Amino acid sequence: MKLLIMGPPGAGKGTQAKILAKKFNLVHLSTGDILRKEIDKSSEVGLKAQTYMNAGNLVPDEVLLEMMQSTLTELKDSGVILDGFPRTIPQAIGLSKIFQSLNQAIDSIINIEVDKNVLITRLVERAKKSGRADDTEEVIVNRQNVYLELTAPLIEFYQSNIIHIDGDGSIDEVTERILNHIP
For residues 150 and 89, give the distance between their C-alpha atoms in angstroms, rounded to a whole number.
8
Q: How far is the CB of 135 from ligand ADP (least distance, A)?
A: 8
Tell which positions 52-71 bind ligand ADP, by CB under 6 A: 52-53, 56-59, 64
Q: How far is the CB of 183 from ligand ADP (least distance, A)?
A: 26
Nearest to 175 by CA among 161, 183, 165: 165
For residues 109 and 164, give the distance between their C-alpha atoms in angstroms, rounded to a whole number.
9
The H helix count followed by the E strand count for the chain is 9, 5
Q: How far is the CB of 35 from ligand ADP (least distance, A)?
A: 5
- Provide the 3-class DSSP secondary structure of residue 4: strand
Pattern 18-37, binding to ligand ADP, x per CB under 6 A? -------------xx--x--
Q: Determine which residue in the list 2, 12, 85, 110 makes contact with ligand ADP, applying CB under 6 A.
A: 85
Part in contact with ligand ADP (CB under 6 A); list of ranges 51-59, 107-115, 159-167, 171-179:
51-59
Strand order in 80-83's β-sheet?
27-30, 80-83, 2-6, 108-113, 162-166
Query: Residue numbers of the site for ligand ADP (CB under 6 A)?
Result: 9, 31-32, 35, 52-53, 56-59, 64, 84-85, 87, 91, 134, 143
